[in-house]
Structure 1
Amino acid sequence: MFKQLLFVSALCVASAANAHYVWLEPSSDGQAKAYFGEWQEDLRESASGHLGLLTTAHSVDGKGTLTPAKRVDDGFLAPVAAQADARLSSGFVGKDGTAYLYQARAGRTDTTARLTLELVPTEPNANTFTLMFDGKPLPKTKVTVFGPPKWEKSFYSDADGRVSIETPWPGQYVAEVSHADKARAGSWDGKAYQSARYVATLTFIKR
């Protein structure tokens, strides 16, 4: 019975790790708030739930400098400079030796990538992006966009990593993309891993 419970628990963790993502809610008060869950399902994990999987989180400024983010009961608070895009990196290493690395951005004014996996606008506030991974364009990759009425549509980056999305209504949008690197070994928060799965989001407001 105990082994069955452990198996079910492991399945729940794996399901959350693969379906969930971290996204940042834009803010004008000097802080952005990061949530772990699924925006389109109105699902925000709490510290007593799967949010507890994330072992640490850092905000990333426009120069790539890391600053520890403040953990709160339902997410993380990340400082952000006035009129700047906010970025946050978080994650954990699973029992399977895979690092689940979540990278979030709010705003689409900066045209330079600061995260390992990131949608970078070709110009400020554009609907065309270059999907970047490790400083290089990532081609032929699915980008899922969620819109204000919980609308959802998938787009794909082209051979040059470019992708153009649709934003039919005013309001908040969340674009989500994932990429697995089975050959990447390293450590996260002091724990070694043998492969990595990146999940990145971009949140922005269409006026």
Structure 2
Amino acid sequence: MKSSRLFLLAFLLTALVGKPARAHFLFIRILPPAEGGRAAEVYFSELAEAGDPRFIAKIAHTELWLQTASGNFEPLKVHQTPDRLRAWLPYTGSLVVTGKCRYGVLARSGQTPFLLRHFPKAIAGNPDELNKRRPHGKLPLEIVATIEGRRMRLLALRDGKPVPKAEFVTVDSELKNLTLTADGEGQAQWTPPAPGNYAVYTRHTSKEAGELDGQKYEEIRDFATLAFAWPLERKDADAAAVALFEEALAARATWKDFPGFSAAISGSLNGRSFDGTITIDARGKVSFADTDPSREESVASWVQEQLESIVLHRLPRPAAPGARPKPVLRFGESKNDHPLGRLLIFDGGKFASSYRVKDRQIMVVNRHVGQQNMTITVLDNDRNTEGLFLPRSYTVEYWEATSGALTRTETVQERWQRVHAWDLPAQHTVTAATQAGLAVQSFTLTKHEIPKSK
């Protein structure tokens, strides 16, 4: 075993490909649940974190498979973005994603022309479940990992058979690496030194001549990679993540000691006007009465649903000791440079959820509900008299969970009116876009009245 740094990686890649600018590998990274759901992303880069847009066309034909619990390999639909490929995955569970990409023939003056092929893999989830997954078996080169407590046993397979004395190179997020030499059975043991994102690669060169797309080559150079986050599974909380989330909750405007209120309501539901009265009692129960009972049935359910959502987010959480346990939250990303804030993964609850928090505000809420994934993205907040935050505008996107197809987008605008000590809803507009077109629903509340104290 011998340790080295980035210069070794650069040297190896320069020798293989010709110049550092092309010193890239193909990596798959299984992301935590976030906007739109959970995805596997494919990068042609120096590490499994960011792609290089210069080469996206060369890897766009990459094939990916998801290995199911039963051991089957199901093909994934691959989407091309400006600098990476993306495929949607199940929101939860232990996952193995495998791929292959025939990059093409590289021929440079004075050098041996060769066919370059990549075979990336990524794993995530419960170690015991992952250890039960079998190799793909039909790839020319593959890395198989067996998790043994705090260490991994790596195995290189060439056409399904172990490669004695195979060389593995580990790469962390700072491009520090370690070279491991396998034993006579093709296996090497490695203990990741700290939590973080890692990748491992191995290579194999065969003297096999051929021709591809009119270009001749004299040998084939195969690279296999394995990428993962370590540890593979966590159940504990990050104290800093919990504190960040609770700080954002405390910065929201809430209806403390809420007595209830009543108001006149008027609005438009997809072009149909309505008006009436609403009452919300101290417990948050919503009642709506339309001045025209004949149209109440077509309007009431939407008005009720919207007001109940508004009330739910304004009523304070139980404050009694022990009434509500602390949330179990972990950071979903090691970096803190996302424009919408750092990703927090919520463990437990009714829905599988994740959040982004920035500047004491919850900027994004991601949820998996039934057969769809939902993302709420805050565009703008207002501040009330006490300096606490009230939502002003936000979007809600809905994706079909299996295919990742975007099915609906809503833009919501809120306006508030201060009545005594409470910020009450004054206007609520929802603009929804689907394949069927654009729909607008809106209501305005006036003549707010707080019940007199008894």
The TM-score with structure 2 as length reference comes to 0.38
Say which SS state the counterpart of residue 62 (structure 2) adopts. strand
Corresponding residue number in structure 2 for 1:178: 203
Residue 164 in structure 1 maps to residue 189 in structure 2: yes
Change (3 A) 1:95 1:128: closer
Deviation at 1:124, TM superposition (A): 7.3
Residue 76 in structure 1 maps to residue 85 in structure 2: yes
Deviation at 1:66, TM superposition (A): 3.8
Change (3 A) 1:187 1:159: farther
Deviation at 1:195, TM superposition (A): 3.4
CA contact (8 A) 2:143 2:155 kept: yes
Change (3 A) 1:75 1:16: farther
CA–CA distance in 1 between the matches of 2:64 and 2:216? 22
Corresponding residue number in structure 2 for 1:22: 26
Greater relative CO, 1 or 2 (CA 8 Å, sep 6+)? 1
Corresponding residue number in structure 2 for 1:45: 52
Corresponding residue number in structure 1 for 2:153: 128
Amino acid at match of 2:200: A
Percent of aligned pairs sharing the same letter: 19
Tell me which of 71, 96, 104 is aligned to 1:85: 96
CA–CA distance in 2 between the matches of 1:17 and 1:101? 18
Q: Which moved more, 1:136-145 or 1:149-158?
A: 149-158
Deviation at 1:52, TM superposition (A): 2.9
CA contact (8 A) 1:93 1:193 kept: no
Corresponding residue number in structure 1 for 2:221: 197
Say which SS state the counterpart of residue 94 (structure 1) adopts. strand
CA–CA distance in 1 between the matches of 2:173 and 2:38? 24
Deviation at 1:139, TM superposition (A): 1.4
Ranges in structure 2 where 5+ consecutive residues have no aligned partner:
1-14, 108-112, 125-129, 232-454
CA contact (8 A) 2:106 2:116 kept: no
CA contact (8 A) 1:147 1:167 kept: no
Amino acid at match of 1:88: G
Deviation at 1:141, TM superposition (A): 1.8
CA contact (8 A) 1:24 1:105 kept: yes
Change (3 A) 1:55 1:195: farther
Corresponding residue number in structure 1 for 2:135: 113
Corresponding residue number in structure 2 for 1:57: 62
The TM-score with structure 1 as length reference comes to 0.77
Amino acid at match of 2:86: L
CA contact (8 A) 1:58 1:78 kept: no
CA contact (8 A) 1:93 1:192 kept: no
1:122-160, Cα deviation, whole Å (9 max, x unpaired): 357750022111110011121110124443111011110
Corresponding residue number in structure 1 for 2:179: 154
Larger Rg: 2
Residue 102 in structure 1 maps to residue 124 in structure 2: no
Change (3 A) 1:124 1:71: farther
Change (3 A) 1:124 1:164: closer
Change (3 A) 1:139 1:186: farther
Say which SS state the counterpart of residue 51 (structure 1) adopts. helix
CA–CA distance in 1 between the matches of 2:86 and 2:175? 25
Ranges in structure 1 where 5+ consecutive residues have no aligned partner:
1-10
> RMSD in angstroms over aligned alpha carbons?
3.1
